[in-house]
Amino acid sequence: MPSPYYFLKHFVPFTGYPYTGAPAACNLCGCCDAVIVAETDRRLKTIKSIACTQCGLIRTDPMPTPDELAEYYTTSYRVDYQLAFAGGPPRHHLVRSAREAAFRADLLKDRLVPGKALLDFGSGSGEFLAEARRRGCEVIGVEPGRDYADHARKRYGVAVLNDADEDSFPAGAFDVISTHHVLEHLRDPADVMERLSRWLKPDGVLHAAVPNMAATGKPPHERFHFAHVHGYVRETFDLLARRAGLVPHEAYPREDTTVVYRKTAAPMPPLGNPGLAQRLVTELRTTRPAVYLVSGAWIWPAIRRNAKAVRDGLAKS
Ligand SMILES: [Zn+2]
């Protein structure tokens, strides 16, 4: 068990997180030059985020080590992120997840037909797996969160692995792969994207979604979170996919950083997005935390968030 001190350190505003980390090169292009885009996160805690000057990929600096991330996930993540305690996913999460799964399945409806093989990488509580199987697909999930994986197995009877390495699946094993809000959590998303691409059939599709760091309508610092060690905008998400031999599929609509990708044999362009890092510095310029706190602008998002959780809870009961 972590000490109460460790736990508290995750929640006291205007202080740093209990981690040391280590400097890292850009995971997408390998460049080491970067500019600072934020020094505070959505809990008003201090944490530095930088954008790669060559490609614009945002990363936490210093990067938490694998052990530090693991400790965070086993102690503070649920409470901090989903207001959930031990005992499986909370009801408002399941309601939201089912709604999102139905939306994703409708977008991919021409692909989710009997006989197709589907992988949900980061399958969470299993709603998308259940929906795809209902449409006749053979499905398998990968989910490191033990309680969520157990929930999916018990409630929907679907197969879920707790982890997947290179050799978990043969090349070209799947018609459809989905990865929903996973790549922002990973220290090595470029490697995982390549793996997903390799597991995809030549005519398969990858549905990938991450938060859009350039989204309007919320204060910039609210986009930053300790668990999100990488941050994407359209250009960097597409470049991450491009590095793995994938391009946006013309037949599907995209919504910023929610994209259906297909394979391409076209030669790889240079791994860069000139000028993007500087643009992000401007777009993500934070209101000074103290000013934000005094302004009271944080009250409404907080109320909305909680109202949504209550509404979702009621909708299910
Ligand atoms: Zn880069």
Protein residues within 5 Å, CB atom, of ion ligand 1 = 26, 28-29, 31, 52, 54-55, 57
- Least confident among 23-32, 35-44, 74-83, 158-167: 74-83
Give me ligand 1 centre to Cα 241, in Å.
13
pLDDT tens for 226-281 read: 889 999 999 999 999 999 999 999 999 999 999 999 999 999 999 999 999 999 99
* pTM for this predicted structure: 0.87
CA 240 to ligand 1 centroid distance, Å = 10
Q: pLDDT tens digits for 162-213?
A: 999 889 999 999 999 999 999 999 999 999 999 999 999 999 999 999 999 9
Domain that holds residue 40: 4-314
pLDDT at 109 over 80: yes
At residue 86, does pLDDT exceed 60? no
Q: What is the CATH number of the domain that holds 17?
A: 3.40.50.150
Rounded to the nearest angstrom, the distance between the alpha carbon of 236 and the centre of ligand 1 is 9
DSSP secondary structure code for residue 269 in this structure? P
HSE toward the beta carbon, residue 9, CA cutoff 13 A: 13
Whole-number Å distance, alpha carbon 230 to ligand 1 midpoint, is 11
Listed in sequence order, the residues at least 6 apart from 270 whose beta carbon sits closer than 8 Å to its beta carbon are none
Does position 317 have pLDDT exceeding 50, yes or no?
no
Q: CA-CA distance, 120 to 126, in Å (whole number)?
A: 9
Asked if 11 and 75 count as a contact pair (C-beta separation under 8 A), the reply is no
Q: Is the pLDDT of residue 48 over 80?
A: yes
Distance CA 304, CA 295 (A): 17
How far, in Å, from the CA of 189 to the mean position of ligand 1?
A: 12
The domain total for the chain is 1
Of 5-19, 57-71, 191-205, 232-246, minimum mean pLDDT range: 5-19
Expressed in angstroms and rounded, the spacing between residue 273 Cα and the centre of ligand 1 is 8
pLDDT band at 80, cuts 50/70/90?
low
Distance of CA 88 to the CA centre of its chain: 20
How many A from CA of 306 to the centre of ligand 1?
A: 36
Span from the CA of 71 to the centroid of ligand 1 (angstroms): 27
Q: How far is the CA of 288 from the centre of ligand 1 (A)?
A: 27
Could you tell me which residues come within 8 angstroms of residue 317 by beta carbon, excluding any fewer than 6 positions away? 91
Residue 240 in tokens: 């991450």
Return all residues near 40 (Cβ < 8 A) that are at least 6 apart.
46, 47, 221, 224, 286, 289
Nearest to 212 by CA among 220, 201, 202, 200: 220
